[in-house]
Chain A
């Protein structure tokens, strides 16, 4: 069933060496299971240090040396973890594209935009330079850049952040990939530019019916642009399901607490906070990763790690998902 999935991650676990050179390892991802189909946008939401970016890095096999990866990671049924060097290069350069959080850091300041956009596809022999330049121009127009030819001759420092991020979108689309990994693509941008860039990205993805794994800490944004939402905490996916369902009726205490702690556009009141501090994956005990901060936690929660199970049309990793459902909805509708 999962064999023809675009991207399928099953029980992914990643351990990194705690210091370079030492044998001791720290777990950064405990257990991530999610999948992306063709034309599907999946949002991966979580706070800093929850393992979102590590998940994308693992997907690209970009983990630092010494990292230990277990679990399944398949692309169209082929195990990415078993790819040879050559297959991996093709996978990275043609099938999956990445859009980064900070476009300025991800461009070589000494290359013009034109050189930067076409370099990848030309160097990997996918297109001639002339064809690539034509396509880059066409794509620039697609993402709403009016004077494409002039922009191609400019250097990164001459472009605004929003414009540069659109260049990154174009670069990601150049090799006609099947999957886009967007790692907080709008976080580094101005709020007003954010929505514009996001709209362009979502439109391009939809038009080409590409799969997208969208990493963000902005639950509202993720719910607005994705079909499926996965909420991550301390290296574990705690809830996964259709975006509108998860967003309107959370079944995991963490998701509910996140939704309650957003500022309201209409009411002025003190924000609700989640007690305690966010923990890193390696600090999690044997029980539920959220147990220490969860108002509903029982003895069982502290001792037995809950697995993802089907509750109310989505997967939830909570022992008490059924019992506390009504309490979670409370205060959300207001």
Chain B
């Protein structure tokens, strides 16, 4: 009797078990997001306060991660910079996931020329490197926060659209969709209430994966001087700022900002990949 109870309960924990990898990296992602939200409040020093008497210093009690070439506290700048570093890719992911999902469901629903047309456009868009479009946008609109956000929002659409489209096409062919059509539901209602609901986990997984790469691409545009401009704090910009000091042996700025970027990209990617393989998304 007791063995049966034990077996039954162990079974329950197995089916409802949480993926440990997702748990660990999900927690990291959570901390990083909290850092982006509350970072500026936690910063021990004002992030833009310079101190020409203490430039390019190594870690010390007063400056835990040292200072940069203008004597600004690196830890404070990392905390403050998290906000812009996350806001950019956040907007990119929200915009591209929304647009990509809308396009994908519309194509799956309508089929025919719309579907074929969308597929062609997506294939062309896949061929264009994101950074190149960002450079172009910076040339047209001027360097700053919005140019790369705008460009990358566009570039990331196909990554969402392709995966969601294949899921939506599968959903479109489900008999329950036909039943909904017969019940007289409008196409809009079937798409939003039934198909979107069923493909939503896939959208979330794709957006999570996309966030990691968007953060890297956004950081790269700042690194190249096309995105966020100094004196604002942003991780990609900080990697770039720290370059000049590298030869003098002051690794702290590039290294710490770069490490944070790597940690964020890896964490979001792992969580996203795990989610998407768990859902069984394919593209």
> A-side interface residues toward B, CB under 8 Å?
60, 62, 65, 89-90, 92-94, 98, 100, 102, 105-111, 119-120, 123-124, 171
Contacts and interface: CB of A to CB of B under 8 A. Distances in A.
B259 interface: no
Given A102-B175, A123-B189, A110 B197 contact: yes
Contacts of A89: 184
A166 B112 CA distance: 36
Given A108-B194, A110-B197, A110-B198, A123 B184 contact: yes
Interface string B179-198: 11111111001000110011
Contacts of A110: 197-198
A100 B179 CA distance: 9
A62 B174 contact: no
A60 B179 CA distance: 11
A334 to B, nearest CB: 42
Given A108-B198, A110-B197, A93 B175 contact: no
Contacts of B189: 123
B176 A108 contact: yes
Judged by DSSP, the binding face of A is loop
Contacts of B19: none
Contacts of B194: 108, 111
B51 interface: no
A108 B175 CA distance: 9
A119 B183 contact: yes
A57 to B, nearest CB: 9
Interface residues of B, number: 19
A260 to B, nearest CB: 35
- The 5 lowest CB-CB distance pairs between A and B, nearest first, are A93-B184, A120-B183, A124-B184, A105-B175, A106-B179
Give the secondary structure class of B's interface.
helix
A93 B193 CA distance: 18
A98 B184 contact: no
Contacts of B183: 92-93, 119-120, 123-124, 171
Contact of A119 (B112, B175, B185, B197): B185
Contacts of A171: 183
Nearest to A123: B185
Given A108-B198, A109-B198, A123-B186, 20 more contacts: A62-B178, A65-B112, A92-B181, A92-B184, A93-B184, A98-B182, A102-B175, A105-B175, A105-B176, A106-B175, A106-B176, A107-B176, A108-B176, A108-B197, A119-B183, A119-B185, A120-B185, A123-B183, A123-B185, A124-B184
A52 to B, nearest CB: 17
Contacts of A94: 184
Nearest to A124: B184
B87 to A, nearest CB: 32
Contacts of A120: 180, 183-185
A24 B183 CA distance: 33
A93 B174 contact: no
A105 B174 CA distance: 7
A146 to B, nearest CB: 26
A97 to B, nearest CB: 8
Given A108-B194, A108-B198, A98 B179 contact: yes
A108 B196 CA distance: 12
Contacts of B198: 108-110
A86 to B, nearest CB: 11
B197 A93 contact: no
21 contacts: A60-B182, A65-B111, A92-B182, A92-B183, A105-B174, A105-B176, A106-B176, A107-B176, A107-B179, A108-B176, A110-B197, A110-B198, A119-B180, A119-B185, A119-B193, A120-B180, A120-B184, A120-B185, A123-B183, A123-B189, A124-B183
